[in-house]
Chain A
Amino acid sequence: MSEALVEIANLSKRFREEHDMAARMAARMGMGHEPATVHAVDDVSFSVAPGEVVGLVGESGSGKSTIGRMIAGLLPPTEGTIRFQGADITTRNRAETKAAALQIQMIFQDPMSSLNPRMRVRDIIAEAPVYHGLIKQSQARQFVADMLERVGLEATAGDRYPHQFSGGQRQRIVIARALAVSPQFLICDESVAALDVSIQAQVLNLFMRLRRELGLAYLFISHDLGVVEHISDRVVILYLGRVVEIAPTEALYSDACHPYTQALLAEVPRLSFEKRRFEPIKGEIPSPLNPPPGCHFHTRCPFAGPRCSREVPRLRHDGPRAVACHLQDGGVE
């Protein structure tokens, strides 16, 4: 079995409301409330193999962005481990893990705020490699030109400022900046969500080309099932901080096991040649401050039974697939 490039195990993140002095005093006097805890991510485990694209899908409150940020080292996990090429990089403090950290780069959603408005593009791209000694200052100009060409921009782009570019072009600059430190793993957090459809196609093609040329692996975080289906090898579906299903893409889209996945796939608007009725599942997405007990999805699930509100379903693996649902695990009674 080939070693996974990135492996996360039992990853959890809880955000606890901080009580200031007034609230602490109120609590001591019996008038306050328990500090609220948001279970953003709850015991999530999956891995990404070298050169693989894993799609991470979920709606608001699913925790997908939080997971991305934890893997990228931008947010410390509350529990669990993150391994890169076998080494534990959960706490990014030691010098060895720093080198590993450069191998993991993040591409953000909003191309407007991902670039420093006051730096020229060539400085944006060359800053980190020069800082880390990967290239010499004298080589910077040529290096930047190479990077820009790789992402489909002309070399003259280096002299300009971010505001002079369109959304799609800025996203390419962001990708060039990430590639400049030769990463092996890219976390794409809704990286095409803010782009027009025709530009989205261009950037997705760029992602696929870079994958072929450089052997990159991706964690592709998105709410857009159509995009995820196109680019991913495997898909992880999240609901309110927990994994509900993992499957290879084709298997997932043709034969989803979990009721949430089935609902999601049924409700994604697809191009149809005639007017179609929408048949959504009922209910609001629960708040992560107050998730339903047992299976988080049972309040909206058409197949829910008494067991679903009592017991949290385990994620059961069956070959390349995994599902967390009582229906597959002894029934809902």
Chain B
Amino acid sequence: MSDTSPTTPKARAKAISPLRAAMLDFAASPLAMVGLVVMVAMALAALFAPWITPQNPYDLSQLSIMDNNLPPGSEAFGGMTYWLGTDPQGRDMLSAIIYGLRMSLMVAVTATLCALAIGMAMGIIAAYFGGRIDTLIMRVVDLQLSFPAILVALILLAILGKGVDKVIIALVIVQWAYYARTVRGSALVERQRDYIAAARGLGLGHTRVMFRHLLPNTLPPLIVVATVQIAQAIALEATLSFLGVGVPVTEPSLGLLIANGYSYLLSGSYWISLYPGVALLIAIVAINLVGDQLRDVLNPRLRR
């Protein structure tokens, strides 16, 4: 008669809202909380980069070529400390990393949001209409997903040329299919529920039913996927930049920074590659930790 588990009674006085309960569940994992703190710290650092970095590494007037390749902890001529050393052009690594993080995050988040929007729309349309439309969209998705992401991105960038916007476009094209498939899966389930049938019975149009009724109820799995996909996007962009087809040299991301210091790795100036690499690693791990916990929290089967 009631659809709660047989051993847990329905405590009908809901003293806690579901959002608060979800937040409390999330906080139950210390690891995830650490991940969350790191994520927030990174986001803030990236946002306020011009104000918190000791130096703007892309303002050539602030650089001194004489300070190149200094190890971490060295003093500059002007009195500031290069906490993480400098690169061959004399840039402060710490500042460069923070700016690089900013670029990495900006590209990844923008690409993810765009891919999310497109993928969501496609997935919902496929699930709602079914039949030929569903088959068509899903075959395109399958085709897209059967190619390795790197390969597709490389080909696209070869066609589109260089530039931050081209990188974002490439990432969007690579990623939308994954969202489409995820959304379609949960939308197919929600589609069967009576409130959708009721909405149609009340004469509401297709667009309204899809985006006002179906979509909001398929979001939870998407939130998890999107979170982890940001990490994927960061990694993909880093790879592309490392290979030299990503962001331009004038506004490097973490990947490009790693590439810059690659040749110095074994000759002693390890800090030029290592620290951007560590920053990249921390970013990706933090996001994955948060994504994992989100998945557990939002999974209705694990719910009590």
A touches B (Cβ under 8 A): yes
| Chain A residues packing against B (C-beta within 8 Å) | 72-74, 98, 101-102, 105-106, 108-110, 112-119, 127-128, 131-132, 163-164, 166-167, 174, 177, 181, 194-196
| A contact face: mostly helix, strand, loop, or mixed | loop
A116 engages B217 (CB within 8 Å): yes
For B117, what are the chain A residues with a Cβ–Cβ distance below 8 Å? none
For A74, what are the chain B residues with a Cβ–Cβ distance below 8 Å? 197, 200-201
B217 engages A132 (CB within 8 Å): no
A72 engages B201 (CB within 8 Å): yes
For A132, what are the chain B residues with a Cβ–Cβ distance below 8 Å? 203
* Interface residue? B14 (CB, 8 A): yes
For A131, what are the chain B residues with a Cβ–Cβ distance below 8 Å? 202-204, 208
Q: How far is the CA of A117 from the CA of B198 in the complex (A)?
A: 13
For chain B, the bracket of interface size reads: 20 to 34
Given A113-B193, A115-B195, A128–B18 Cβ distance below 8 Å? Answer: no
Q: How far is the CA of A203 from the CA of B197 in the complex (A)?
A: 22
Name 25 interchain pairs, CB-CB below 8 A, sorted by A: A98-B203, A101-B201, A102-B203, A105-B201, A105-B202, A106-B197, A106-B198, A108-B197, A109-B194, A110-B194, A113-B193, A113-B195, A114-B194, A114-B198, A115-B195, A116-B217, A118-B216, A131-B202, A131-B204, A132-B203, A163-B18, A166-B12, A177-B198, A194-B1, A195-B1
Which of these, B195, B203, B208, B216, contacts A101 with CB under 8 Å? B203
- Identify 19 new A-B residue pairs, CB closer than 8 A, beyond the known A101-B203, A132-B203: A101-B201, A106-B197, A108-B198, A113-B194, A114-B194, A127-B204, A128-B202, A128-B204, A131-B202, A131-B203, A131-B204, A163-B14, A164-B14, A166-B12, A167-B2, A174-B198, A177-B202, A181-B203, A194-B1
Per-residue CB proximity of B164-206 to A under 8 Å, as 1/0?
0000000000000000000000000000011101111111100
For B197, what are the chain A residues with a Cβ–Cβ distance below 8 Å? 74, 106, 108
Q: How far is the CA of A325 from the CA of B298 in the complex (A)?
A: 55
For A110, what are the chain B residues with a Cβ–Cβ distance below 8 Å? 194
Which of these, A108, A127, A167, contacts B202 with CB under 8 Å? A127
- Closest 9 interchain pairs by CB? A128-B202, A108-B194, A114-B194, A113-B193, A118-B216, A116-B195, A113-B194, A102-B203, A74-B197
B12 engages A196 (CB within 8 Å): no
* Interface residue? B59 (CB, 8 A): no
For B12, what are the chain A residues with a Cβ–Cβ distance below 8 Å? 166
Given A110-B194, A164-B14, A117–B203 Cβ distance below 8 Å? Answer: no
Q: How far is the CA of A72 from the CA of B1 in the complex (A)?
A: 25
For A101, what are the chain B residues with a Cβ–Cβ distance below 8 Å? 201, 203
With both beta carbons as reference points, the residue of chain A lying nearest to B3 in the complex is identified as A112
With both beta carbons as reference points, the residue of chain B lying nearest to A167 in the complex is identified as B2
For B208, what are the chain A residues with a Cβ–Cβ distance below 8 Å? 131
For B217, what are the chain A residues with a Cβ–Cβ distance below 8 Å? 116-118
